[in-house]
């Protein structure tokens, strides 16, 4: 029996020694401050390997000066500051978990400084320090932290912190909860796992990569860019705002309307911004443009884009530009009662603007006026204002209307809210059709196309202005700008939708016209109400009319005069003053009162009469 007991004792002793030796060989304890590469730091033991756990004792500072590895890393609690600092661009690769415990004395920290180096691990856990004067934290400057699992900060914002103080990067594949997290300009945070919840913070650059759904539970902000990678869906789990200071690139799916939960985007960059990407779904709820500068452009040009609600766009400051080739048909603005007119109005504010640059976009009309105090620019697409007669597109001083292509259709009238309001009008292409539904004079005798302030700027080098319906108040086209440049374009009276009238369209223009066309359909008549110069062609359609008789106004023609209808003149003069061959032709006989040819090349191709003088 004694022999048996003695043998058991010997066996136990051997096992104990083996276990002690195994534990000693599988763990390294930093008991002296120093570099990771020094055996002195580890109490004379060898430098840690990938299979060994590392413990940083209380009060110890270890500097990573090599490509360091270990199985796990724990910073012990205690009454002194403990620090792990990665020097330069060195790295620390931890296979499993990182645990940062608490200081037990006020004013002390337990810290990992990634600095400009790199660190990777499976998870990070910080213990609650229990006191706002005691801090467990991790700092990145320009380096990179990769966490393949969760980041759990058990203390509040004063007790547990992760800070990116420069253009560093955090990649996290799991959850990120608790404590405080701050980022600096140029930094990057990448949620690269599967399904993840996006921490509610202010980011610089935010990347959503990996796979599955990335959920936003509360208001979020990026001061720089938001990137949604292929295979990722980004959506809200509550009604939230996402404020974006940079660009949005979507190669996955942006689902801003997640059933009962919507995410509104606020673009507030200090420079131009863009929305791009070939993602299958780029879906917005409401969009607000509130840029740092009125001239800043937020350009929407993804491959696919949808907007759910009507009246989705709010312009506070900056320009919303809709480019690309995606299809979008919607009303863009909400309406409110205008303080001056008393009518429902959609407003484009001063210091803001809308720019259509996509032929597949149609702004559907609203049952309201449209107020232009900023910029309306149409390069491609269709912009409709007003659903019924007497809805105006009216402008205030400082407004700018640019038409380079596409179509602008106004149901009632285009004019200044006050006759003294000035506008900068520029047209190089496209078609502006006004009075499509009626301008009855019910709310005052206003022109269908009105630039009544002489201080306005009027530039036209292409495109067409169309007067579709007649103005019941006899003020169809009034343009009194004394600051104009006209090198192209056409004023067209009537179109295919014009009905038969017994009254005339009144034309009063201080700037020259380039082409004047009276359309054939329903045989309208244009009446000249002031002396007018047409720099290029005058064309009177079949059955249509041009009347210069009422006020005996003069007409100057720079190129051809084609009369397929009726030209009526009382006692005024028609002058042909071109520098190239000019034709007087058409299917109808033309009677002139005074005819002046300031050009040696005027070719008469049809019968004409003159009643007074031929010069």
The count of C-alpha atoms lying within 13 angstroms of the C-alpha of 383, restricted to the half-sphere facing its C-beta, is 27
Q: Strands 232-236 and 582-585: what pairing?
A: unpaired
Query: Rounded to an integer, what distance in angstroms lies between the CA atom of residue 203 and that of residue 221?
Result: 6
pLDDT of residue 17: 40
Of the chain, the percentage scoring pLDDT greater than 70 comes to 93
Percentage helix, strand, coil, to 5, in the chain?
Answer: 5, 50, 45
Query: Rounded to an integer, what distance in angstroms lies between the CA atom of residue 557 and that of residue 571?
Result: 17
Confidence of residue 580 (pLDDT cuts 50, 70, 90): confident
pLDDT of residue 1: 40
Nearest to 111, CA basis, from 142, 78, 75, 87? 75
Query: Rounded to an integer, what distance in angstroms lies between the CA atom of residue 93 and that of residue 51?
Result: 11
Scanning 76-188, the segments in alpha helix (DSSP H) are none
SS3 call for 401? strand
Query: Rounded to an integer, what distance in angstroms lies between the CA atom of residue 124 and that of residue 385?
Result: 57
Q: Strands 336-337 and 344-348: what pairing?
A: antiparallel
**pLDDT tens-digit series, residues 272-314:** 999 999 999 999 999 999 999 999 999 999 999 999 999 999 9
Confidence of residue 475 (pLDDT cuts 50, 70, 90): confident
Q: How far apart are the first and last CA of the chain?
A: 148
Q: Residues 572-601: what's their mean pLDDT?
A: 88
Lowest-confidence segment of 18-32, 311-325, 380-394, 505-519 by average pLDDT: 18-32
Q: Are 217 and 239 a contacting pair, CB within 8 Å? A: no
Q: Tell whether the model's pLDDT for residue 5 goes beyond 70.
A: no
Nearest to 325, CA basis, from 349, 359, 282? 359
Q: Tell whether the model's pLDDT for residue 22 goes beyond 50.
A: no
**pLDDT tens-digit series, residues 224-240:** 999 999 999 999 999 99
pLDDT of residue 598: 84
pLDDT of residue 360: 98
Name the CA dihedral angle for 373, 377, 382, 388, rounded to a multiple of 10 degrees.
20
**pLDDT tens-digit series, residues 436-474:** 999 997 767 899 999 999 999 999 999 999 999 999 877
Other residues' Cβ atoms within 10 Å of the Cβ of residue 17: 10
Backbone phi and psi for residue 164, each to the nearest 5 degrees, phi listed first: -105, 110
Q: Strands 477-479 and 449-451: what pairing?
A: parallel
Whole-number mean pLDDT of the chain?
Answer: 93
Decide which of 5 and 62 is more confident. 62
Q: Tell whether the model's pLDDT for residue 96 goes beyond 50.
A: yes
Other residues' Cβ atoms within 10 Å of the Cβ of residue 486: 19
Confidence of residue 250 (pLDDT cuts 50, 70, 90): very high
pLDDT of residue 606: 56
Q: SS3 letters for 443-485?
A: CCCCCCEEECCCCCEEEEEEEEEEECCCECCCCCEEECCCEEE
Q: Tokens for 91, please give them.
A: 């790295």
Q: Residues 309-334: what's their mean pLDDT?
A: 98
Q: Tokens for 260, please give them.
A: 């009962």
Q: What CA–CA distances, in Å, run from 83 to 32, 112, 163, 499, 576?
A: 12, 6, 15, 86, 92
Lowest-confidence segment of 11-15, 27-31, 560-564, 568-572 by average pLDDT: 11-15
pLDDT of residue 597: 86
pLDDT of residue 612: 52
Q: Tell whether the model's pLDDT for residue 25 goes beyond 80.
A: no
Confidence of residue 550 (pLDDT cuts 50, 70, 90): confident
Q: Residues 404-417: what's their mean pLDDT?
A: 98
pLDDT of residue 355: 99
Query: Rounded to an integer, what distance in angstroms lies between the CA atom of residue 302 and that of residue 599?
Result: 55
Query: Rounded to an integer, what distance in angstroms lies between the CA atom of residue 532 and that of residue 550?
Result: 14
Query: Rounded to an integer, what distance in angstroms lies between the CA atom of residue 560 and that of residue 599?
Result: 12
Q: Tell whether the model's pLDDT for residue 343 goes beyond 90.
A: yes
Other residues' Cβ atoms within 10 Å of the Cβ of residue 97: 17
Confidence of residue 4 (pLDDT cuts 50, 70, 90): very low
Q: Are 298 and 321 a contacting pair, CB within 8 Å? A: yes
Q: Are 380 and 356 a contacting pair, CB within 8 Å? A: yes
Q: Strands 248-250 and 273-276: what pairing?
A: parallel
Q: Residues 311-324: what's their mean pLDDT?
A: 98
Q: Tell whether the model's pLDDT for residue 336 goes beyond 80.
A: yes
- What H or E segment, with its residue span, contains residue 246? none
- Buried-state track 137-176, b at ≥16 Cβ within 10 A, e below 16: bbbbbbbbbbbbbbbbbbbeeebbbbbbebbbbbbbbbbb
Q: Tell whether the model's pLDDT for residue 322 goes beyond 70.
A: yes
Q: Tokens for 423, please give them.
A: 């506008």
Backbone phi and psi for residue 9, each to the nearest 5 degrees, phi listed first: -65, -40
The residue extents of the domains of the chain are 327-530, 556-615
Q: Residues 587-611: what's their mean pLDDT?
A: 73
Q: What CA–CA distances, in Å, run from 309 to 379, 429, 517?
A: 24, 31, 41
Angle at 318 between CA 464 and CA 382, to 5 degrees: 30
């Amino acid at each position: 029996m004694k022999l048996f007991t003695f043998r058991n004792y010997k066996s136990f002793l051997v096992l104990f020694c083996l276990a002690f030796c195994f534990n000693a060989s599988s763990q390294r304890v930093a008991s002296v401050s120093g570099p990771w590469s020094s055996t002195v730091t580890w109490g004379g033991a060898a430098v840690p390997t990938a299979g060994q756990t590392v413990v940083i004792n209380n009060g110890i500072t270890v500097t990573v000066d090599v490509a360091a590895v270990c199985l796990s890393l724990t910073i012990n609690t205690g009454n002194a500051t403990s620090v792990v600092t990665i020097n330069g661009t060195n790295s620390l690769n931890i296979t499993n978990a990182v645990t940062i415990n608490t200081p037990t004395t006020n004013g002390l920290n337990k810290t990992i400084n990634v600095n400009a180096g790199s660190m990777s691990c499976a998870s990070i856990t910080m213990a609650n320090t229990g006191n706002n004067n005691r801090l467990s934290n991790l700092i990145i400057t320009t380096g990179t932290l990769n966490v393949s699992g969760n980041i759990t900060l058990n203390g509040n914002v004063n007790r547990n912190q992760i800070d990116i103080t420069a253009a560093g990067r955090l990649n996290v594949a799991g959850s990120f909860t608790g404590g405080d997290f701050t980022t600096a300009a140029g930094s990057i945070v990448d949620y690269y796992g599967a399904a993840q919840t996006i921490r509610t913070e202010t980011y610089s650059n935010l990347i959503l990569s990996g796979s599955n759904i990335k959920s936003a539970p509360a208001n979020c902000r990026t001061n720089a860019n938001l990137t949604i990678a292929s295979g990722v869906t980004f959506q809200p789990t509550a009604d939230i705002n996402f404020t974006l200071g940079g660009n949005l690139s979507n190669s996955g799916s942006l689902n801003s309307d997640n059933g009962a939960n919507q995410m509104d985007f606020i673009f507030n960059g200090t420079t131009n911004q863009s929305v791009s990407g070939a993602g299958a779904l780029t879906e917005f709820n409401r969009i607000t443009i509130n840029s740092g500068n009125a001239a800043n452009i937020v350009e929407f040009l993804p491959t696919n884009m949808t907007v759910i609600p009507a009246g989705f766009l709010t312009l506070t400051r900056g320009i919303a530009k809709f480019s690309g080739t995606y299809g979008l048909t919607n009303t863009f603005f909400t309406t409110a009662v205008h303080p001056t007119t008393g009518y429902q109005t959609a407003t484009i504010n001063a210091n803001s603007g809308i720019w259509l640059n996509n032929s597949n976009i149609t702004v559907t009309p609203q049952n309201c006026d449209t107020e232009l105090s900023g910029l309306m620019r149409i390069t491609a697409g269709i912009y409709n204002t007003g659903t019924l007669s007497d809805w105006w597109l009216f402008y205030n001083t400082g407004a700018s209307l640019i038409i380079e292509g596409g179509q602008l259709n106004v149901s009632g009238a285009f004019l200044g809210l006050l006759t003294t309001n000035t506008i900068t009008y520029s047209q190089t292409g496209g078609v502006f059709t006004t009075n499509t539904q009626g301008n009855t004079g019910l709310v005052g005798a206003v022109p269908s196309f009105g630039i009544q302030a002489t201080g306005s700027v009027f530039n036209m080098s292409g495109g067409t202005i169309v007067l579709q319906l007649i103005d019941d108040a006899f003020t169809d086209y009034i343009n009194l700008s004394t600051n104009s440049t006209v090198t192209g374009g056409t004023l067209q009276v009537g179109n295919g939708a014009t009905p038969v009238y017994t009254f005339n369209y009144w034309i009063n223009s201080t700037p020259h016209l380039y082409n004047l066309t009276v359309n054939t359909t329903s045989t309208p008549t244009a009446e000249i109400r002031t002396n007018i110069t047409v720099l290029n062609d005058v064309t009177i359609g079949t059955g249509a009319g041009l009347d210069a008789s009422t006020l005996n106004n003069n007409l100057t023609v720079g190129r051809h005069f084609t009369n397929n209808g009726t030209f009526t003149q009382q006692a005024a003069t028609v002058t042909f003053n071109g520098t190239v061959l000019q034709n007087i032709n058409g299917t109808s006989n033309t009677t002139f009162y005074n005819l002046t040819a300031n050009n040696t090349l005027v070719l008469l191709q049809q019968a004409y009469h003159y009643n007074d003088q031929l010069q």
